[in-house]
């Protein structure tokens, strides 16, 4: 009977699926109007402070919102990993899959990378903030950095900067060396390639890319003067131009994006949307999972809220937790899986004592280095920008006018893991809006207003391998409460993190001494830092330390909160991403990283989901699905 109910529900759902159109299908005027409304949210949107909305009945006349029956696999979250899992597991016709997403359908504005930061001020962002930070975020309101997380189909892959940066080969060899067999670079490269369909041909290492996968990667069709100049100034300093996702990462390159022509290639667009009508897949949006049902150390299903009603659904084979490095720890702890002391503090019955939420690592970046050039770019109307976007041209095709990327190592050989990454924002420079998104005080928002949007460029220094670790914990045992996010930035006792960012600043200041920058008549812009100016000599090392602590912010790359490892005392999942001590439960998202990578996590998370999907198929079907 349960199977019959499930079939009927799936059939009814299939008839009701409505998939959003693409932004490219709208007229130029309609697109411009949508962008204008999105930008207007910057000053008007008010974030929620909890999850109460999930517990309130929105539609009194709505039918029972709960999905009936049971499923072989329940996927919690449809972000970077969840969409991949839904696609790959439903390739097996006999597998039934339910994907639960707390957010809504992905808004069409997500298609345009150039407006991505404005989605941070909408209901499609969970609206989290860090705790008060002692050593960073000091220029942000109340010394708390905003911590955007995607809340829609596609999750953070539909709201992020869209940069396709896999990481260094040694990152993954290090994962294996930590006791995780099967995660060395040679093991994971086939899965990077399986997911990818590269659409660009210049300066590409062909043997390291995929060309038949669901997820498109590309670069805008044009190379502006400043893009080439940024590449050339690196060459002046001894770097070489190369494909950083290829054989060697060390060098400078045009940025590669998750980009299908002019459109963001999120996990929703690439993996989930094309299979939404498969009869063995059900996707339930606005479904907030509050806990996993665990009996006798075995995951049996989940409880979730939808339209104010509590729903329960059972899993015949596995529960796959893909809610992200912030929300997955919260769900686990609310379910009784986590640090004993943390659960006891909130009166939660302990099922498995594991370091859930501990060991958090994050990339932070310093956006406080600016140059003025003799180039005036994109002094055009929004309608003209939309027309360029439809032709896969800048400035709206990449996010934030991003141009190039480079990697720098200050400790080991040049070809070893880099300490910092540089990425560059170019005209039109929307720095006042970025300042608002990053939560800066009014004083610093006004300082950013001093910049010229049409001539200036921003050099951003990203710390790739932080020594500082933080945590995700609970406010209470009530799922209405947001998790507590404390990245604990720049807290390493030796001060290596802060010193490495400063070393990056020193390199960034050398750009102005290159022949290329001199040809652009570049001028280093010394913006005021009132607190730092009052205490230190401008441009001194102490002054830069102060400036970094003031303006540095998160790049929204949390990892390792449910880290992979062989020992349950120091990790949460094993090398197959199975939760230690709990059967039929895996975590598949950035939280499982055992250590951070020299890249942006989205590409690696997609790779992980591809690899684990094959692992799951092989285990349950009794045959090899490995690439």
pLDDT digits (tens, 9 = 90+) for 558-615: 999 999 999 999 999 999 999 999 999 999 999 999 999 999 999 999 999 999 999 9
Among 148-152, 221-225, 352-356, where is mean pLDDT lowest? 221-225
Q: Is 452 exposed, middle or buried (0-12, 13-18, 19+ CB in 10 A)?
A: middle
Active-site entry in 124, 209, 363, 600:
600
As beta bridge partners, residue 128 has 147
pLDDT digits (tens, 9 = 90+) for 432-490: 899 999 999 999 999 999 999 999 999 999 999 999 999 999 999 999 999 999 999 99
- Domain tally, the chain: 1
Q: Within a domain: residue 369?
A: no
Per-residue DSSP letter, 130:
B
pLDDT: which is higher, 2 or 69:
69
pTM: 0.96
Q: Within a domain: residue 315?
A: yes
* The pLDDT value given to residue 17: 54
Q: Within a domain: residue 34?
A: no
Contact 609, 620 (CB under 8 A): no
Share of the chain above pLDDT 70, in %: 96
Q: How would residue 401 be classed by pLDDT, with cut points 50, 70 and 90?
A: confident
pLDDT digits (tens, 9 = 90+) for 96-116: 999 999 999 999 999 999 999
Query: Of the candidates 323, 321, 304, 322, which has an alpha carbon nearest to the alpha carbon of residue 313?
Result: 304
* The pLDDT value given to residue 626: 64
Q: How would residue 20 be classed by pLDDT, with cut points 50, 70 and 90?
A: low
* The pLDDT value given to residue 503: 98
Q: Within a domain: residue 513?
A: no
pLDDT digits (tens, 9 = 90+) for 412-442: 777 789 999 999 988 888 778 999 999 999 9
Q: Within a domain: residue 90?
A: yes
- Section 128-138 average pLDDT: 99
Q: Is the pLDDT of residue 22 over 60?
A: yes
SS3 call for 341? helix
d(CA 476, CA 124): 24
Q: Within a domain: residue 176?
A: yes
Q: Which residue do the tokens 């190379």 mark?
A: 223
Q: Is 600 a catalytic residue?
A: yes
* The pLDDT value given to residue 178: 98
Query: Of the candidates 84, 89, 20, which has an alpha carbon nearest to the alpha carbon of residue 617?
Result: 89
Q: How would residue 203 be classed by pLDDT, with cut points 50, 70 and 90?
A: confident
Q: Within a domain: residue 584?
A: yes
Contact 464, 419 (CB under 8 A): yes
Length of the chain measured in residues = 627
* The pLDDT value given to residue 8: 35
pLDDT: which is higher, 16 or 216:
216
Q: Is 557 a catalytic residue?
A: yes
pLDDT digits (tens, 9 = 90+) for 359-373: 999 999 999 999 999
Angle between helices 169-177 and 185-195 (to 10 degrees): 130
Q: Which residue do the tokens 């947001």 mark?
A: 482
Contact 100, 77 (CB under 8 A): yes
Angle between helices 185-195 and 601-621 (to 10 degrees): 100
Q: Is the pLDDT of residue 224 over 90?
A: no
* The pLDDT value given to residue 436: 93
- Section 531-553 average pLDDT: 98
Q: Within a domain: residue 85?
A: yes
pLDDT digits (tens, 9 = 90+) for 260-269: 999 999 999 9
Active-site entry in 169, 234, 557, 580:
557
d(CA 147, CA 144): 9
Q: How would residue 57 be classed by pLDDT, with cut points 50, 70 and 90?
A: confident
Q: Tell me the C-alpha to C-alpha distance, in Å, between residue 525 and each of 59, 80, 232, 369, 424.
A: 54, 38, 21, 7, 15
Q: What is the CATH number of the domain that holds 344?
A: 3.50.50.60
Q: Which residue do the tokens 């991949």 mark?
A: 84
Quote the tokens at residue 246.
Answer: 């290829």
Parallel, antiparallel or unpaired: strands 364-372 and 456-463: antiparallel
Give the domain range for residue 158.
Answer: 64-110+148-216+265-358+558-626
Indicate the average pLDDT of the chain.
94
- Section 297-306 average pLDDT: 98
- Section 63-71 average pLDDT: 88
Q: Is the pLDDT of residue 16 over 70?
A: no
pLDDT digits (tens, 9 = 90+) for 229-241: 999 999 999 999 9
Could you tell me where the DSSP H helices lie in 299-395?
Answer: 324-334, 340-345, 382-390
- Mapped to the 3 state alphabet, what secondary structure does 143-167 carry? HCCEECCECECCHHHHCCCCECCCC
Contact 222, 393 (CB under 8 A): yes
Share of the chain above pLDDT 90, in %: 88
SS3 call for 271? helix
Among 62-66, 207-211, 351-355, where is mean pLDDT lowest? 62-66
Q: How would residue 513 be classed by pLDDT, with cut points 50, 70 and 90?
A: very high
SS3 call for 517? helix
289 assigned binding-site residue: yes
């Amino acid at each position: 009977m349960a199977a019959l109910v499930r079939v009927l529900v799936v059939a009814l759902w299939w008839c009701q699926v409505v998939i959003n159109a693409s932004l490219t299908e709208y007229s130029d005027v309609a697109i411009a109007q949508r962008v204008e409304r999105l930008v207007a949210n910057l000053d008007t949107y008010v974030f929620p402070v909890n999850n109460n909305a999930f517990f309130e009945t929105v539609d009194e006349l709505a039918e029972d919102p709960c999905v009936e029956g049971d499923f072989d696999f329940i996927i919690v979250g449809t972000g970077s990993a969840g969409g991949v899992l839904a696609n790959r597991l439903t390739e097996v016709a006999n597998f039934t899959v339910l994907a639960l997403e707390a957010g809504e359908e992905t808004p069409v504005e997500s298609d345009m990378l150039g407006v991505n930061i404005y989605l941070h001020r909408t209901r499609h962002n969970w609206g989290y903030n860090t705790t008060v930070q002692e050593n960073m975020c000091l220029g942000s309101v109340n010394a708390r950095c905003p911590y955007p997380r995607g809340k829609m189909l596609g999750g953070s892959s539909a709201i992020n900067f869209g940069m396709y940066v896999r990481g260094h080969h040694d990152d993954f060899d290090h994962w294996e060396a930590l006791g995780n067999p099967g995660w060395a670079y040679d093991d994971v490269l086939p899965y990077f390639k399986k997911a990818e369909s590269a659409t660009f041909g210049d300066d590409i290492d062909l043997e390291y890319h995929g060309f038949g996968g669901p997820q498109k990667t590309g670069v805008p069709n044009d190379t502006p003067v400043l893009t080439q100049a940024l590449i050339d100034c690196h060459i002046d300093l001894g770097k070489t131009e190369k494909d950083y996702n290829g054989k060697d990462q060390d060098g400078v390159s045009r940025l590669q994006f998750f980009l299908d022509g002019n459109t963001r290639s999120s996990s929703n667009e690439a993996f989930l949307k094309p299979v939404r009508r498969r009869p063995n897949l059900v996707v339930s949006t606005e479904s907030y999972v509050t806990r996993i049902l665990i009996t006798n150390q075995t995951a049996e299903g989940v409880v979730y809220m939808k339209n104010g009603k509590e729903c329960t659904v059972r899993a015949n084979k596995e529960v796959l937790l893909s809610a992200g490095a912030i929300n997955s720890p919260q769900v686990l702890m609310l379910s009784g899986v986590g640090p004993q002391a943390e659960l006891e503090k909130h009166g939660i019955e302990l099922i498995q004592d594991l370091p859930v939420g501990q060991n958090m690592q994050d990339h932070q970046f310093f956006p406080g280095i600016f140059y003025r050039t003799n180039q005036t770019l994109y002094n055009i109307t929004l309608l003209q920008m939309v027309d360029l976007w439809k032709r896969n041209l800048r400035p709206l095709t990449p996010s934030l006018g991003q141009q190039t990327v480079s990697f720098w190592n200050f400790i080991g050989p040049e070809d070893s893991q880099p300490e910092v990454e540089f990425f560059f924002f170019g005209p039109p420079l929307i720095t006042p809006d970025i300042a608002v998104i990053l939560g800066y005080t009014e004083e610093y928002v006004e300082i950013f207003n001093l910049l010229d949007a049409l001539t200036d460029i921003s050099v951003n220094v990203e710390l790739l391998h932080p020594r500082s670790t933080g945590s995700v914990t609970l406010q209470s045992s009530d799922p209405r409460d947001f998790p507590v996010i404390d990245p604990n930035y720049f807290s390493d006792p030796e001060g290596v993190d802060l010193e490495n960012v400063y070393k990056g600043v020193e390199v960034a200041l050398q750009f102005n001494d290159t022949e290329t920058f001199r040809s652009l008549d570049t001028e280093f812009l010394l913006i005021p830092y009132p607190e730092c100016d009052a205490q230190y000599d401008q441009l001194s090392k102490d002054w830069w330390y102060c400036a970094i602590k003031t303006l540095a912010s998160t790049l929204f790359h949390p990892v390792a909160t449910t880290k992979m490892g062989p020992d349950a005392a120091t990790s949460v999942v094993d090398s197959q991403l199975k939760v230690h001590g709990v059967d039929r439960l895996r975590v598949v998202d950035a939280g499982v990283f055992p250590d951070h990578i020299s890249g942006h996590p989205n590409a690696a998370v997609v790779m992980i989901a591809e690899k684990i999907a094959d692992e799951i198929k092989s285990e349950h079907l009794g045959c090899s699905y490995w690439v």
